[in-house]
Structure 1
Amino acid sequence: MCPPRFFEVSYVINPWMDPTKPVDTALAMTQWEELRDTYRRLGHTVHEITPEPGLPDMVFAANSGTVIDGRVLGSKFRAPERAAEAEHFRRWFVEQGYRDLRMPTKINEAEGDFAWTGRVLLAGTGFRTDPEAHAEAQESLGVPVVSLRLTDPRYYHLDTALFVLAEETDSTPAQVCYYPEAFSPGTRRVLRRMFPDAVLADEGDASCLGVNGVSDGRNVVLPVEATELGDRLAARGYEPVYVDIAELRKAGGGPKCCTMELRK
């Protein structure tokens, strides 16, 4: 995770951003700290990277790396405003001792568009990550990749429209939650075939970035507004954990956007 010390909305690279609306950086920091501390209370280890001035979106750490079995594929941003973030995260991985590290040649916004199910890497495209980056991810990470096409610009990254509730094990299939209307018709058919028992989100869930959740297989961290989705998840046996991250949502980010998962 990366503290939002320099967070602001000074440019527009997604439909959520409006530089004319005021942003409270101190409040963003307080909300981010609550998210970080929530992970710690749930028993998770949180590593922090130092934020850099002039990179207000660096708080959205999910976009800067994909880690599976200790292998790391870095990022390459589409928006020039975020391009410099990739090198800061690359250096962080090196400093932390990651040796199997590759940087992409294609536009690749990491866990913003990649979701690991325990067996397959779901890979989004349509607005940010290039389709060619999916093949590059398969070669770099050594896992099968399934491409999914996003069609609604409000849900510009896969992690705004889908998240993994529980990874696949030898005895149980992966479980996911997704918002069908964010995807192309063909992709919806793929998702129905792969995940017939998925939790389906509606417009109300998606419009507060409720589908930008983080699950450890039991606890599901959601924006505080996503109570209806939380109720449906609770009915499936999950434990909703709500956080207020409304200030960071002004830049199009929720809990998952702020969270890169390190799978060692």
Structure 2
Amino acid sequence: MFVKDGTAELKRVLTSPPTYLTKADPINEISKKYQFELLDQSKLAAEYQQLITAYQQAGITVEQLPARPEMTNGVFARDFGGCVKEGYILGRFKEPIRFAERKAYEAKMQALGIPKIVEVKDGFFEGGDFAFLNEKTIAVGLLQRTDQTGFAEVQAGLAAYGYQVYPVPADARYLHLDMCFNLVADHLAVAYQEGLPPAFLQLLNQLEIEIIPVPEAAIFKHGCNLESLGKNRVISLKQNQAVNQALVAHGMEVIELDITETLKAGGGPHCMTFPLSRN
């Protein structure tokens, strides 16, 4: 078994260093604000190491895909696909600047011995839009980078394994579903509720998932871009004080990372992490 769900104990992850991320390419609402400034390479490297150290201290095995000049955004490992118990889904990037990552991550997954069970070939699908709600229920965001065709390919491919996959359309400005919704424990999520469709909110209610609400502004400050480690532990950003306090009030152990430079390219801890093993 590879990944049981989104909140089981995280055992192994895949990441990639930001070695060639020299500037914020204007491919999302956040990075557009920083497109004319060079990113601080030493800060990027230190922030990536913070994440790796946090995983290692939590007893999580870290696999790394070596950085390449043609993969400037490769640090956002989440986006090449999704992983379930039986294997992984290979997505398809929409932005040309990310095309080279697809083959590189596919080769890495083969080297790691994780089977490809679904491949998106006609539409677009990125892992930032992939979210477990429970062991057999998955939500897929339809925002800026995943389209209806890609969703249908994921839905059909996973149906063969008994998964129910639901579409979650939302404002394209939010980029990915993990920027406005994130499950942090079996029945607890952080989300901007007003930006999510009523049908999805109803589904969450049926599944008895409580929501810690955040304002729309928090989306663009990575207030929802958290990474569950399982056992009521979650990685968050130091700057997310209101969210972090609410998580602690709900019995969560919050591991705060002081990451700011990487965020300028449009991704946070959740974006930087591709789960390989959760059980």
TM-score, normalised to structure 1, is 0.90
Gapped runs of 5+ residues in structure 1?
168-173
Work out whether residues 205 and 228 of structure 1, in 8 Å CA contact, stay in contact via their aligned partners in 2.
no
User: Of 147, 150, 154, which aligns to 1:130?
Assistant: 147
By how many angstroms is 1:31 displaced?
Answer: 0.5
For 1:51 and 1:225, the matched residues in 2 are separated by: 27
Residue 275 of structure 2 aligns to a residue in which SS?
A: coil
The equivalences for 1:240-251 within 5 A come to 240-251=254-265
- The equivalent residue for 2:82 is 66
2:112 is aligned with 1:93: no
The equivalences for 1:102-121 within 5 A come to 102-105=118-121, 106-110=123-127, 112-117=128-133, 118-121=135-138
- The equivalent residue for 1:220 is 234
Residues 198-238 of structure 1: per-residue CA shift (max 9 Å, x gap): 22222454332020000123111111100110111111110
The equivalences for 1:124-163 within 5 A come to 124-141=141-158, 142=161, 143-151=163-171, 153=173, 155-163=174-182
| Greater Cα shift, 116-125 or 97-106 | 97-106
Gapped runs of 5+ residues in structure 2?
1-14
- The equivalent residue for 1:7 is 21
Amino acid at match of 2:249: A
For 2:19 and 2:129, the matched residues in 1 are separated by: 25
What number of residue pairs does the alignment pair up?
256
Residues 4-58 of structure 1: per-residue CA shift (max 9 Å, x gap): 1111225311011132123112210110110111011112111111111122100
Q: Flag the structure with higher strand content.
A: 2
For 1:195 and 1:248, the matched residues in 2 are separated by: 34
Amino acid at match of 1:148: V
Residues 114-141 of structure 1: per-residue CA shift (max 9 Å, x gap): 0112231111002110123223223333
User: Of 44, 66, 80, which aligns to 1:28?
Assistant: 44
Residues 99-155 of structure 1: per-residue CA shift (max 9 Å, x gap): 344321120112x000112231111002110123223223333311011111150x1
- The equivalent residue for 1:175 is 188
2:189 is aligned with 1:166: no
Residues 68-103 of structure 1: per-residue CA shift (max 9 Å, x gap): 013111121111111111110000011111234432
Residue 243 of structure 2 aligns to a residue in which SS?
A: helix
For 1:236 and 1:103, the matched residues in 2 are separated by: 38
Work out whether residues 135 and 145 of structure 1, in 8 Å CA contact, stay in contact via their aligned partners in 2.
no
The equivalences for 1:72-87 within 5 A come to 72-87=88-103
Residue 109 of structure 2 aligns to a residue in which SS?
A: helix
2:252 is aligned with 1:238: yes
For 1:194 and 1:151, the matched residues in 2 are separated by: 24
Residue 62 of structure 2 aligns to a residue in which SS?
A: coil
For 1:152 and 1:126, the matched residues in 2 are separated by: 4
Amino acid at match of 1:211: C
2:215 is aligned with 1:199: no
Amino acid at match of 1:260: F
| Greater Cα shift, 47-56 or 131-140 | 131-140
By how many angstroms is 1:63 displaced?
Answer: 0.1
